[in-house]
Structure 1
Amino acid sequence: MTVFKLSSPNAPFMCLHFFLFLLWASTVVAASSQELQPLLKLKSAIQDSNPSLFASWVSARSVCDFTGVTCNSDNSVIGIELSNRGLTGTLPFDSICQLQSLQRLSLGFNSLSGTVSADLDNCTKLQYLDLGNNNFNGSFPDISSLKNLKYMYLNMSGFTGTFPWNSLKTMTGLLVLSVGDNQFDKTPFPHEILGLDNLYWLYMSNCSISGSIPPEIGNLTELIDLELADNYLTGKIPAEISRLKNLWQLELYDNNLNGTIPTGFRNLTNLQFFDASSNSLGGDLSELRFLTKLLSLELYNNGLSGGVPAEFGEFQNLVNLSLYSNNLNGSLPQKLGSWAEFIYIDVSTNNLSGPIPPDMCKRGTMKKLLILQNNFSGEIPATYVNCTTLTRFRVSQNSLSGVVPSGIWGLPNANIIDIAENELEGPITSDIANAKSLAQLWASQNKLSGNLPPEISNASSLGSIDLSGNQFSGDIQENFGGLEQLTSLHLERNRLSGNIPDSLSSCLRLSDLNLAYNFLSGEIPASLGSLPTLNSLNLSNNQLSGQIPATLSSLRLSLLDLSYNRLTGAIPVSLYVEAQNGSFAGNNGLCSSNVTYFRPCSSPSRDVRTFIICFIVGFAVLVALIAFYMFFKRREQKDDVHSLKGDYSWDMKSYHVLSFTEDEILDSIKQENLIGKGGSGNVYKVSLKDGKELAVKHIWNFSPLNRSRTGPGTPMLSKLGSSRCREFDSEVRTLSSIRHVNVVKLYCSITSEDSSLLVYEYLPNGSLWDRLHTCNKLGLHWQTRFEIAHGAAKGLEYLHHGCEKPIIHRDVKSSNILLDEFLKPRIADFGLAKIVQASGGRDSTCVIAGTHGYIAPEYGYTSKVNEKSDVYSFGVVLMELVSGKRAIEPEFGGNRDIVGWVLSKLKNKESVLSIVDATIPESLKSEAIKVLKIAILCTARQPELRPTMRSVVQMLEDADPCKLVGVVIAGNNSGQKKGSLLD
């Protein structure tokens, strides 16, 4: 140990050093103490969300030892790094900015909330600010004092209001500006940004920027990343953008840009990621043929034309190519994708032709091959048999021919194999046993043949099979019963024979079974009636025999068609409604004493006494039978109203100026004009001499029994007849007073003593249900769906708010929304409507009506309904439009309907996006989510929480998610959205 003595010659110097050390130590202690209090206030505000993180803040000897805190050589705090730590709470910026040397504040990827106060402007030495990916609210403050700022990350943080763009004028050294994914007020492109010459990263996607992209954007020559996607930008892509030669990524998708890809774009030779999808760009792709470094090119949903440049086949880095929904023609370069580890291609919905490039999976990495809805020809290249990475193989709606390579059926990771609507031949081979991930197998409308392989049961994930419209023969394998996930089985229009396998009853998820137009024989398995979720059963046009199983009565079917078979025996009483709808037509062996069109069932006497009794009352029975016969004869004349004109007078009431006569309508009510049947009557299509088309609903006002008792002159209404009269009166009373473009037009009514006719406008595109849930779905793009939703909402708004007395429809559903030749919607079928009697103080009706899946939950505890019940039902329709699913689907599980299913999905971004119909383009899914939010509001369990239809119309017109229900849908940091129209 060294001892210093005053007598030492160096003593004065030693004392001086010791004094300076004490002075420095006291300064450090003072500084550390001064910075401790702001840090402790920060800890107090957020520590509850992560106590272990702040343990060191208690035991540390100095603030510089605190976890996440950094100091400089003077022990002054210069950095706080607490990003991605699961933190919650409100930040005390007044305390944080007391740290006078603070240069770095990184708190991104947490769940911090509250507002960012103006005190942030006091952190004048900040160079790095990251508050991104949090849950703040309110506007972001003016931070003009932060002149040293170089990095600013505010993306996806919940900010609203007007962003202080003027603050940027002082930040001339800014290198990174990331403010995207915030719902700022709509504003033109901020010119303050154009002066930031050092900027190399600009992320402004989804922050409400409008107007055109200024040509001065070309002055930011240091930019390597420019993201302006998902805004309201209009006009052309400025040619000056070609001056940004350092650009590595350019994102312009989901805007309203038009024009062509500008001349000079070829100069962006460092560009690797380019996405300008979902705009209105035209022209061709010729400017892109020089961009040899491209890894990902996405230009789908535009109006691009011309061919795919041959140079694309030589791009050695290209792994993603998405050009669907354009007007491209010609063939694809045959070397396309053969150089790099290609991942996916989607060129669907174009006019491309020629062969499929054979080597896109040459590197064994391809996951998605989507080329449907084109004119590709030739065979499916055998090279794709070895592409075991494929998850989606979709080549439908082309002109492909030849035998399907056997290995295609057994792609081990494919969850969709879609080869429908081609000219393909050959069998489904036993390779399908290897398709362990296959969920959808769509091969309809081809020339496939042979027997259905028993190995199909090994593809245990199969949920949907459509092999209709082929030449398959032989039996339906019992093995189908092993497909436990099967929900839809379509084998119609083939050459199948043998019995319907009883094992199908093991497919407990099966909701849609169609075996029509085959040569099936034997009896209908009674076990089908045990399927808990079966919703549609079509066994028509076969050779089935035996009786209709009574077990079918337990099913809740939206479609039952057993017509044109060889069925015999009595129609079960519980299926009388289906019988009236034509479900059993063409089965001459069926009988019923209560259903029109069928011969009465006779019960032979079992003993002499019965015979004697029958003989005694024979005359009376004979009279009754003659009366029945005359009635049935009339109905067997296919409701030919013209034949009744001699017996009855007809009363015609017009509600519009008519261009036709009563006789023109009556003469057209014939079997060949029948287009539909329902519980309320038959519907006929009437074509007038002037070319105009009408739809006529024919309603009988009485039951056969009452007619036979009272004679033709004095009909006595039965319960059934009186119900239909009430229905007729209700519909006429409602429709005759309505004048709205989105409500079906009633031209006139024609009535007699036993018949009533309603003459409507004819809507050639059927119902929304037909378009959404059948093969007519093609052409129902998102924009069309949105317009249907908006139009139908306006129709209901008129009924609720535009009539003298509010009209409650009470059966709003997709099948009651009809579509004209332009797919414009009309609200129809007012058989259940009721005009609210405002004068009597009543605001509801008390008759339970509606359709399962659309009925509001208040029916469970009250029979009273009002306009909010219609709002609920309309919310269900919106969910159908967004998801493409029916109100009741087996996949929902248990007794859950679409509303419960949607609510169960509101967990995270991926789960919410999975609700959206896969046929809706990825770029438009955010728009679909906006409508989904409106649907969620409409289907609130408490009626008082639902909006009015007037509010629904306004919300649809605004389509502004920040005004709607708080469904949190997170996004990724970069704002990129990758995907496919049919993904």
Structure 2
Amino acid sequence: MGSPQARVPSLLCFAFSSLLLSACSSSSDLDVLLKLKPALTGPGGSGLHDWVAPNPSSLSPTAHCSFSGVSCDRDSRVVSLYVVFVPLFGYIPPEIGLLDGLVNLTLAADNLTGPLPQEMAKLTSLRLLNLSNNGLLNGSFPGEILAGMTELEVLDVYNNNFTGSLPVEVVGLKKLRELHLGGNYFTGEIPEAFAEIEGLEYFGVQGNTLTGKVPVSFARLKNLRGLYLGYFNNYTSGIPPEFGLLSQLEVLDMGNCNLSGEIPPSLGQLKNLNTLFLQVNKLTGTVPPELSDLGSLMSLDLSINSLTGEIPMSFSKLKNLKLLNLFRNNMVGSIPEFIGDLPNLEVLKVWENNFTWKLPENLGRNGRFLELDVTSNHFTGLIPPDLCKSGKLKYLILMENNFFGPIPEGLGKCPSLQKVRIAKNWLNGTIPAGIFNLPKAEIIELNDNIFSGELPREMSGDKLRILSVSNNWVSGEIPPAIGNFKNLQTLSLESNRFSGKIPAELFSPQNLSKVSISGNKLTGEIPDSISQSPTLGLVDLSRNKLGGEIPKGLSNLKILSVLNFSWNRLTGEIPDEIRVMTSLTSLDLSNNDLSGRVPLGGQFLVFNDSSFAGNPGLCSPRHGPCPSPLSFARNHTSFTSLKVIITVTGLVTVMLFITVTVYVMRKRRLERSRSWKLTAFQRLDFKAKDVLECLKDENIIGKGGAGIVYRGSMPYGVDVAIKRLVGRGGGCNDHGFSAEIQTLGQIRHRNIVRLLGYVSNKDTNLLLYEYMSNGSLGELLHGPKGGHLQWEMRYRIAVEAAMGLRYLHHDCSPLIIHRDVKSNNILLDSDFAAHVADFGLAKFLQDSGASECMSSVAGSYGYIAPEYAYTLKVDEKSDVYSFGVVLLELVAGRRPVGDFGDGVDIVRWVRKTVSELSQPSEAASVLAVVDPRLSGYPLESVVHLFKTAMRCVEDESCRRPTMREVVNVLTNLPTPAVAEPNLL
């Protein structure tokens, strides 16, 4: 050995070398991060703004450690890259493999594209790899990159687009604790070898399209705490009884995955289980009493199966139970008294069973009750008086039973109530006044009972959307205070004993869409205020004693589809303005005292003679000449002359007013043009003034509920679609609107119409979209050239439109509900590729996973999902229903409404047509409804699309597929060859 003096230089040299190596490594990591940034952000992305090269004069070896999402160790090596919920819209480049010191790589919810680079195999120090919720990482998962990641503890690729088999390579990751592979398109069976990952605590493959049997070998995973196997997987077995050996299991989620057989009693051995979800399967038999041994159980969902028998009496031991869902089974018996004694029970849903007797009187006395739904059973007796003892009861749903007696007064003092749905019982007495003053109530349905007395004079509630008191014995006048429900959308008071006049205030709520007060004893005239409610879609005032003339101004009701004034005492002539009400598909003016001619042309071509029957003074020129006008007006000559003078004078006044108004508006437009601002989401070679010059009537290519659309020819030969929004002012000062538009401007998908930018000032917003030269699917399919759109092209359009909706629902951030899916909102480019359009005013889903959004306009007539009539809310499944209607249009070549008679849409027509077949089959069903203009189509392919459409238009939203599943079904065989359309 050398002397100590000799070793000193060596130690100094070693220390200096280590320091130099550390400095070089940190400098290298900085370079890598700067190379990663442009790839991660992509051309249309944003974020990572502080990832910039430092000034060379002040270069610090730790500069990159302060970048957002970056963490370093003591040697300034990057050990953690954590970037979540950032709209990057890029991809993971091969350079990621140079960050070989990474312990945590989390790039979640960043809209990244794929595939994953092989260079990730160099990240051998990783303990956590989280690429979840990107949605566009596609292709097979490259399992070979995992070979060297021997330290990996968490692998999370949930909610992407990976396909193929599950990566069996994970079996080699002996330290793995969490494996999340759900929300993808993995196929095949779950490998039995996964049971060799002995330390696994959480395993999730939910939301794929897996098949085969549920692996019994998983019973060997003694450390499992969460097991998620359900949702759109399609297993061919039941629940393995061996799962009762998973002693550490806390969550077992096997909902909606085609399970069959009985629930194994051995599950009662899972002492740590707090959540058991087995809903939406094909389970049979009774509920095992052994489940009462699950002392930690908080949530039990066995709904939508074929279970029989009674609720086990031993369930009285489930003291921690908060949620009990048993709805849509075949269970019998009564609800045991002990259910009301469960100290933590918050939610009880047992609807659509065969339960009998009465509800426990003590229900709600635990002070925690939130939701009760017992719809469609055979319950009787009184409504329990203490349901709202907690002051937290939100949903009270008792419909379609045999309850009797009055509504407990306490429910009228329950400020937390949001839904009161107690229709179709035998309830009686006067409705408590407090029911009409619940501050959070959104739905109050009291119809089809035997309530009597009068409605209270005072009413209030800013959130009430549905009020139904129809089919009772309620009398007295309709309270004007109904107008205080500012957000009321549906009012049903028909078939009662109301008298007096219709209050003008009844039509004051600005979102009112349905008013039905037929079958009462109302008198007086129809108030003129009806024409000031432009959102009305249905008005039924029939079977009353209303007099006077039909109000003027009905043409203001631009989306009215059903109007029924029959069986009243109306006089005068039918307003000619109804001729231009193109949305009106059902009109009934029969059995009144109307006179004069039935107007010809326009929308009157849609109505048949029954709409006007029972009016002796009416005549229709369609059935011969009407009597001479002199015979009608012999005693009214002077009055007619006066009307002519007044009309001419009015016309002159109006023309003068229009001239002055146009002059003033043009002058103001010129003044405002200086303040127009163009906001672009990509490079645009034109300016705001180029857009404004295109706002001419001759450039209009479409009008809809959202606004007017112009075709704009920009400099350098670029065409754009300019949408001028109606009723949306604020321009750049509307920060909420600007934020929405900024988000929409980041959306990039080949089947989504791209938002190029917008032009705005303080009064107006003009959205700029890429121009689609072949118009909309609706115009093409239902126009004169629809017969030339043959099957191959129809199928391709269906697939491409589905892919666009899938992106909105599952892959973009934030997720988007379209809310107005229809054939006219599927646009076709020069190659007839489909692009989903007109979702600019859609509501965004929050990251918390809320799936409902409020809607004042829920779509277009004929496309609206049936549940909207009850909830007035839309979600992803509402879009799925609308898309199903579009698919039926493609199959049948018919419009959604108007071809089948009053009140019948395409869904009802298809169901009726199919149900009447003498020898029903899939092929016969298609042949009965298929577009006769189609020739030489592949029957198997049409049947495939037809079956998908019928799944999409299921009445119950829970039975409809997701758009992700729709795409998967449509892109599987049989798939027709793509052909060019014949449009000659």
Sort the TM-score into its range (normalised by shorter chain). 0.5 to 0.7
Matched, 1:521 2:547: yes
Alignment counterpart, residue 448 of structure 2, candidates 421, 445, 467: 421
953 and 144 in structure 1: CA distance in 2 versus 1, 3 angstrom threshold: same
Q: Which runs of 5+ in 2 are unaligned?
A: 80-100, 635-775, 803-817, 828-835, 859-863, 894-930, 952-960, 971-984
- Name the structure 2 match of 1:327: 354
- Name the structure 2 match of 1:311: 338
> 2:476 is paired with a residue of what secondary structure?
strand
Alpha-carbon shift at residue 26 of structure 1 (Å): 7.1
- Name the structure 2 match of 1:560: 587
Letter in 1 for 2:440: N
Alignment counterpart, residue 320 of structure 2, candidates 279, 290, 293: 293
Q: How far apart, in 2, do the equivalents of 1:545 and 1:50 lie? A: 65
125 and 164 in structure 1: CA distance in 2 versus 1, 3 angstrom threshold: farther
Letter in 2 for 1:334: E
Matched, 1:86 2:113: no
Alpha-carbon shift at residue 462 of structure 1 (Å): 1.5
- Name the structure 1 match of 2:273: 247
Letter in 2 for 1:589: G
- Name the structure 1 match of 2:217: 192
916 and 80 in structure 1: CA distance in 2 versus 1, 3 angstrom threshold: farther
Letter in 2 for 1:149: K
Alignment counterpart, residue 472 of structure 1, candidates 498, 505, 521: 498
Do the aligned partners of 2:587 and 2:607 also contact (CA within 8 Å) in 1? no
Q: How far apart, in 1, do the equivalents of 2:230 and 2:595 lie? A: 66
> 2:536 is paired with a residue of what secondary structure?
coil
Do the aligned partners of 2:201 and 2:224 also contact (CA within 8 Å) in 1? yes
Do the aligned partners of 1:565 and 1:586 also contact (CA within 8 Å) in 2? yes
Q: Which runs of 5+ in 1 are unaligned?
A: 1-6, 608-852, 880-890, 969-983
- Name the structure 1 match of 2:909: none
Alignment counterpart, residue 97 of structure 1, candidates 99, 121, 146: 121
- Name the structure 2 match of 1:954: 944
Do the aligned partners of 1:444 and 1:466 also contact (CA within 8 Å) in 2? yes
Letter in 1 for 2:412: V
Alpha-carbon shift at residue 488 of structure 1 (Å): 1.5
Q: How many residues align?
A: 699
Q: How far apart, in 2, do the equivalents of 1:85 and 1:962 lie? A: 17
> 1:566 is paired with a residue of what secondary structure?
coil
Alpha-carbon shift at residue 594 of structure 1 (Å): 4.6
Matched, 1:222 2:145: no
- Name the structure 2 match of 1:716: none
> 1:917 is paired with a residue of what secondary structure?
coil
Normalised to the residue count of structure 2, the TM-score between the two structures is: 0.63
Letter in 1 for 2:943: V
Q: How far apart, in 1, do the equivalents of 2:105 and 2:821 lie? A: 48
Alpha-carbon shift at residue 24 of structure 1 (Å): 5.7
Do the aligned partners of 1:38 and 1:98 also contact (CA within 8 Å) in 2? no
Alpha-carbon shift at residue 933 of structure 1 (Å): 4.7
Alignment counterpart, residue 614 of structure 2, candidates 576, 586, 592: 586
Q: How far apart, in 2, do the equivalents of 1:519 and 1:921 lie? A: 29
Alpha-carbon shift at residue 586 of structure 1 (Å): 2.3
- Name the structure 2 match of 1:857: 780
Alignment counterpart, residue 46 of structure 1, candidates 30, 40, 43: 40
Q: Counterparts in 2 of 1:357-372, with a 5 A limit? A: 357-372=384-399
Do the aligned partners of 1:560 and 1:578 also contact (CA within 8 Å) in 2? no
- Name the structure 1 match of 2:866: 917
Q: Counterparts in 2 of 1:802-951, with a 5 A limit? A: 857-860=780-783, 862=785, 904=839, 910=851, 916-918=865-867, 933-937=883-887, 950-951=940-941
- Name the structure 1 match of 2:689: none
Alpha-carbon shift at residue 481 of structure 1 (Å): 3.6
11 and 936 in structure 1: CA distance in 2 versus 1, 3 angstrom threshold: farther
- Name the structure 2 match of 1:202: 227
Matched, 1:114 2:138: yes
Q: How far apart, in 2, do the equivalents of 1:112 and 1:896 lie? A: 26
Letter in 2 for 1:917: P
> 1:544 is paired with a residue of what secondary structure?
coil
854 and 475 in structure 1: CA distance in 2 versus 1, 3 angstrom threshold: farther
Do the aligned partners of 1:524 and 1:549 also contact (CA within 8 Å) in 2? yes
Q: How far apart, in 1, do the equivalents of 2:115 and 2:793 lie? A: 45
Q: How far apart, in 1, do the equivalents of 2:507 and 2:868 lie? A: 29
Letter in 2 for 1:458: N
180 and 546 in structure 1: CA distance in 2 versus 1, 3 angstrom threshold: same
Q: Deviations over 1:98-130 (max 9, x none)?
A: 233322223334456134312223312212222
Q: How far apart, in 1, do the equivalents of 2:851 and 2:305 lie? A: 24
Q: How far apart, in 1, do the equivalents of 2:109 and 2:596 lie? A: 72
Q: Deviations over 1:518-563 (max 9, x none)?
A: 1112222233354323322222222222333333333343222222
Alpha-carbon shift at residue 93 of structure 1 (Å): 5.1
Do the aligned partners of 1:540 and 1:563 also contact (CA within 8 Å) in 2? yes
Alpha-carbon shift at residue 955 of structure 1 (Å): 3.8
546 and 28 in structure 1: CA distance in 2 versus 1, 3 angstrom threshold: closer
Do the aligned partners of 1:562 and 1:584 also contact (CA within 8 Å) in 2? yes
Alpha-carbon shift at residue 472 of structure 1 (Å): 0.4
> 1:232 is paired with a residue of what secondary structure?
coil
> 2:452 is paired with a residue of what secondary structure?
strand
Letter in 1 for 2:570: L
Letter in 2 for 1:501: P
- Name the structure 1 match of 2:534: 508
Letter in 1 for 2:611: S
Two-structure CA RMSD over aligned residues (Å): 4.5
Q: How far apart, in 2, do the equivalents of 1:70 and 1:389 lie? A: 49
Greater Rg, structure 1 or structure 2? 1
Q: Deviations over 1:792-826 (max 9, x none)?
A: xxxxxxxxxxxxxxxxxxxxxxxxxxxxxxxxxxx
- Name the structure 1 match of 2:418: 391
Alpha-carbon shift at residue 218 of structure 1 (Å): 0.8
928 and 186 in structure 1: CA distance in 2 versus 1, 3 angstrom threshold: farther
Alpha-carbon shift at residue 87 of structure 1 (Å): 5.5
- Name the structure 2 match of 1:281: 307
Alpha-carbon shift at residue 72 of structure 1 (Å): 9.2
Do the aligned partners of 2:821 and 2:879 also contact (CA within 8 Å) in 1? no
Alpha-carbon shift at residue 394 of structure 1 (Å): 0.8
- Name the structure 2 match of 1:158: 184
- Name the structure 2 match of 1:688: none
- Name the structure 2 match of 1:134: 160
> 1:329 is paired with a residue of what secondary structure?
strand
Q: Deviations over 1:246-272 (max 9, x none)?
A: 101111111111111113111011100
41 and 324 in structure 1: CA distance in 2 versus 1, 3 angstrom threshold: farther
Do the aligned partners of 2:504 and 2:529 also contact (CA within 8 Å) in 1? yes
Q: How far apart, in 1, do the equivalents of 2:138 and 2:629 lie? A: 79
> 1:510 is paired with a residue of what secondary structure?
coil
> 1:311 is paired with a residue of what secondary structure?
helix
Q: Counterparts in 2 of 1:615-634, with a 5 A limit? A: none
Letter in 1 for 2:613: A
Q: How far apart, in 2, do the equivalents of 1:926 and 1:528 lie? A: 34
Q: What is the percentage of aligned positions where both structures have the same residue?
A: 28
Q: Counterparts in 2 of 1:514-913, with a 5 A limit? A: 514-556=540-582, 557-574=584-601, 581-592=609-620, 594-595=622-623, 603-604=630-631, 857-860=780-783, 862=785, 904=839, 910=851
Normalised to the residue count of structure 1, the TM-score between the two structures is: 0.63
Letter in 2 for 1:363: S
440 and 931 in structure 1: CA distance in 2 versus 1, 3 angstrom threshold: closer
Do the aligned partners of 2:779 and 2:824 also contact (CA within 8 Å) in 1? no
Q: Deviations over 1:156-183 (max 9, x none)?
A: 4424233662441331111111221223
Q: How far apart, in 2, do the equivalents of 1:406 and 1:449 lie? A: 15
Alpha-carbon shift at residue 295 of structure 1 (Å): 1.1
Alignment counterpart, residue 458 of structure 1, candidates 475, 484, 506: 484
37 and 216 in structure 1: CA distance in 2 versus 1, 3 angstrom threshold: farther
Q: Deviations over 1:746-768 (max 9, x none)?
A: xxxxxxxxxxxxxxxxxxxxxxx
Do the aligned partners of 1:513 and 1:536 also contact (CA within 8 Å) in 2? yes
- Name the structure 2 match of 1:353: 380
333 and 895 in structure 1: CA distance in 2 versus 1, 3 angstrom threshold: closer
462 and 239 in structure 1: CA distance in 2 versus 1, 3 angstrom threshold: same
